[in-house]
Structures are given as structure tokens and as C-alpha cells.
Chain A
Amino acid sequence: MNEQAPFTIEQFYKYINLGKLMGGKCKKCGVIHLPPRPLCNKCLSKEFEWVEISQKGKLLTYTIIHVAPPQFEQMAPYAVGIIQLEKGLRIPGMIRDIEHEEIEIGMELTVNFDTSAVPSQWPQWPRYYFKPTHPQ
């Protein structure tokens, strides 16, 4: 892990491309930011270290998108949700590899990485997504 890597959204997605979910831990107050931030939103320090976050989470809430913006139209309907990770961290993302009827609040989901199709133009970010920890 490169300690010197900048605590930016760009770097967060570079780690996603390596299959890692990485947050920035404030060296002063200990709070973890996911995504990382250049300035601690609790104590305003700018000293951080990278910490790897477990990919295990629980679904807090979700929706099925039927009307999508142009770049997602072909995928609709698709499920998106917000998951609760360790240490009170949360991230939103798509829920895949499950029938929509089987999605439930509270279910265990795992963060996965889709690094196959990184766009060639800005933003050159891969996508992570959530899938059931215990597929049926």
C-alpha cells in the first residue's frame, strides 16, 4: 500500500481497479472517510493513512430504477442501494446478480469490482457493485 498516494476520489477509484475498498483514516481524530477526503470533516486535519475496508456489508435501503439517464438506459430496470459497512461507513452502488424480488433491507451484500470496462474518457473510473454474500 502506497502511504503517499493522495487522499482523493481519483485514488479511491484507482484502488477499486485493484480490487480494494480503501478509506482515509485521520491520524489525529481517527475518523475514517469513505471516500477519502483531503480535509478531515471532524477535526480539519489533513494527515491521513490508508485503511482497507472490509467488503462485507448490509443493505440499508434500495430502489429499482426504471427511468434511467441516457448512459444507463439499456440496463434499466436495475437495482441500486446504500450499504452499511464496518465502522459506520456507507456507500451507494448497484446491486447485481440477484432477482429484484429477492432483495431485502438488512440482507448481507459483498462489494465486488467490475474492472473490465474502465472508460477511455474522463471520468476513467471502474465501477464497484454489490452482490449477495449468500447467493441462493
Chain B
Amino acid sequence: MLKGKPLVSIVSAGLSKFGKLEGLYAREIFAQAAKEAFDRCPNLDPKKEIQALFVGHMGESYEHQGHTGSTVADWAGLLHIPAIRTEAACASSAAALRAGIFAVLSGLFDVVMVGGVEKMTHRTTSEVTEFLAMASDFPFEQWHGITFPGLFALMATAHMHKYGTTEEQLAMVAVKNHHNGSLNPKAHMQKEVTLEKALSSRFIAWPLKLYDCSLITDGASCLIITKPEIAKKYTDLPIHIIGSGQASDSIGMYERESLTSLTAAKISAKQAYEMAGVKPEGIDVAEVHDCFTIAEIIAYEDLGFCKPGEGGQLIERGETKLDGRLPVNTSGGLKSKGHPVGATGTAQAYEIYLQLTEQADRRQVKDAKIGLAHNVGGSGATAAVHIFRRE
């Protein structure tokens, strides 16, 4: 029906430094991202023109701080606009982006800020493991000691058993994303990792090792989106969002149709592709939810970048490298850029914005016109896919 008609346009975007941001609270980190977005768009008067804020944030446990919408609006200098938090675990800010899209499409608002934030590194790994697990089923998964890496490990074991995917192929995802992250000055871990090092790292949840897991990171991200008709007032290079899909699945992994694929991601992708009038072959650059290396391999398959079961071969052939046919996670992904869970969805959109406006510097993909972002909440009970196009 819409077939590529812009839903909204991104006129600016901001990203805080990702990493261990000691001594900063989530609201202060969000202010960094907001400031970049304000500075990037001198034609916009944020205090007069931004009419609402939607912010993704997963957990109040980290900082003993709920009520995130008003908290970050206040610290971003946007007092008195309506501001709410959206929560869909690690897909919280893709949900914020969708809330923003709905708000603009409703006609009620012309200019909206969407974003996300999480402050995690001041907590112990054990505490973070517990907080993240809250996004999984409590009475049957958490209660029996199943962690987040554990859930993705269950999928990894099943994928390896069914399709012959190897630990080396998983490690190749880490090697690729660390290479990309080494070119991103805002990435948490800006260093290359060798295949040997990734393969010899300690187990977190067998068969997943330390280098199969994304990082516990602090960070914030945001976008300023507008009605497409007024985008040119703010920038010569608006990026249009032309497809948006979101779906849910059973909270317990054990009740899902498949243990080797995320049904919610497949449904979201279908919605987004149809809305955008774009096929998987039409994507020039993608950011996918590599919370664990196996998740990137499954994402290739769910997004139609390859057939089911062939994700391991796709990474092995190098097709998703920076110089490959379809570069994936040019930012370094959750693996190397980091995964401040609430911030991830709009951080993915930020990278696609940079790529499509040719501001991605050393990791710029040549002639990128259409980009995709794939954000997963929890172990797959939420997924959201967005498709972006330059003019």
C-alpha cells in the first residue's frame, strides 16, 4: 500500500560515546546524545520545535531510577514537552522510534525526538545478568537458572545441530564486528580480535564464549524525526523511514514455533519490506541485533539475506564484511560498539543515518541508498525492523 512513501524523515541524530562512562547517570549520557543532535541541525530550535520525546529504557534496577521519560527530557533541556519511556527489553528504542512515527503520522506533532539510554557498567556482571534475564520468562526460564546468554546458547546449540553451523562461524561474526568497531571512534571496544582469540575465550554459556557476547555498555542515542513535507526546512539531506514493522512472540522460548529462527523478526521484516516496497536484495547496508554472534547469523536468515541455515556460510564467505556485497553492522554492532540495551535500537538507526548521509568516515559504505535496522527484544519475544532511504 505505502510502497516506499516516507512515513517520517530523520533530520538529525545523536549518539553519546559508548563505553564505561564512569560517574555519569543515564540522564547525563542522554544529554550528550541530544546535544549532538541539536548541534547537527542548526536550523532547528529544539526548545521551540521539538514537541514530544519517546525514550527507550529497559530497566530501573540499574540506577534505581524509573520515570525515564521526564527524567531525560528534563536533562536534555526539553522541559514541559510530553515525554514517555517505551519498554520492550533490548528493543526499547526501536519501540520509541515507532511511537515517534505514530505520533507524527497521527498529525498531532510535526517534530519529535526519539531515543534510548541505559547505564549498566556500574553494576557487577552477575547483577547485570540478573537484570537482563528479567526480559525473559520468570517462572520457567529465570526460575530454572536460564540466563540471557543461556537462551541464545540454546538457539546456537539447536542451529549447530540442525544446520552444521560451527563455533568458527560464530567467531567470524565477532572478528568482523570488532574490525568495524575499530573504525568507530564512539565504539566501546575499538580493537581488532583474532579468530584464535575469540575461539579461545572462556565460556559464558556453552557453546557461547566471551567473544560471542555483546558488551555491557553505557550509552545513549537519539534521532529527530519530522513530517516528511517539512524535513527540508531543517536539512538538505533528510533520511526517510519507508518501512516499519514490529511483532511479538511467546515470552517463553520453549513455546515458540522454532528454536533456530525468530518468528517475530520474520514477521517484522515482512511488514517493513512490504511497506517499503523493497526486497532483501535491495538493502545496501544493515545494522542487525548481534547481542550474541548466533543472533547475527539467525538475523541474516530471518531478514532474507540468505536461506534458512545458510547464515554461517554467509559470514564465512565474507559477504557481510565492510567491503562485501551487503555490509552488516558497520558500526561494530552490539558486539564491539556495545549494547546499552535501551539505547541500541536508535543507535542502529543512527549508524544507518550516518551511512546514508555519507558521514560514516572510515567505515563508509559506497553509494549506500537503502539501509535496514533489526532490533530484537529479549530472546525474541519482540522484534522490530526499520527500512531507511536517502532522497
Contact = CB atoms under 8 A, between A and B. Distances in A.
Contact of A63 (B130, B138, B143, B157): B157
B139 A9 contact: yes
Given A62-B157, A68-B145, 12 more contacts: A35-B140, A62-B154, A63-B156, A65-B149, A67-B125, A68-B126, A69-B126, A69-B133, A82-B259, A92-B144, A94-B144, A125-B139
B202 interface: yes
B259 A125 contact: no
A63 B139 contact: no
A135 interface: no
B306 to A, nearest CB: 22
Nearest to A92: B254
B126 A92 contact: no
B127 to A, nearest CB: 7
B338 to A, nearest CB: 18
Interface in A108-130: 123, 125, 127, 129
A63 B126 contact: no
Nearest to B152: A63
A1 B207 CA distance: 42
Most buried by B among A13, A64, A70, A94: A64
Interface string B246-273: 0000001111000100000000000000
Contacts of A64: 203, 205-206
A69 B129 contact: yes
A77 B145 CA distance: 11
Interface in B77-111: none
Given A35-B140, A63-B154, A92 B253 contact: yes
A51 interface: no
A75 interface: yes
A69 B205 contact: no
A63 B153 contact: yes
Interface string B140-151: 111111110110
B252 A92 contact: yes
Main secondary structure of the interface of B (DSSP, over half): helix
23 contacts: A35-B140, A60-B259, A61-B158, A62-B154, A63-B156, A63-B208, A65-B145, A65-B205, A66-B205, A66-B206, A67-B129, A68-B145, A69-B126, A69-B145, A70-B126, A72-B145, A80-B145, A82-B154, A92-B141, A92-B146, A92-B254, A93-B140, A123-B139
Interface string A39-71: 000000000000000000000111111111111
A92 B144 CA distance: 8
Most buried by A among B130, B141, B146, B208: B146
- What 4 A-B pairs have minimum CB-CB distances, sorted nearest first? A63-B153, A69-B130, A64-B206, A61-B158
Interface bracket on B: 35 or more
B161 A61 contact: yes
A107 interface: no
A78 interface: yes
A91 B140 contact: yes
B145 A82 contact: no
Interface of B: 125-127, 129-130, 133, 138-147, 149-150, 153-158, 161, 202-208, 252-255, 259
A63 B379 CA distance: 15
B126 A66 contact: no
Contacts of B153: 63, 65
Contacts of B154: 61-63, 80-82, 92
Contacts of A123: 138-139, 143
A73 B126 contact: yes
Contacts of A9: 139
Contacts of A66: 202-206
Contacts of B133: 69
Given A67-B129, A69-B130, A82-B154, A93 B206 contact: no
A67 B204 contact: yes
A93 B204 CA distance: 18
B145 A78 contact: yes
Most buried by B among A13, A68, A92, A129: A92
A68 B204 CA distance: 9
A105 interface: yes
A14 interface: no
Contacts of B144: 80, 92-94, 127, 129
A90 interface: yes
Contacts of A91: 140, 254
Contact of B140 (A60, A61, A63, A92): A92
A81 B195 CA distance: 28
Contact of B157 (A65, A75, A92, A105): A105
A70 B204 CA distance: 15
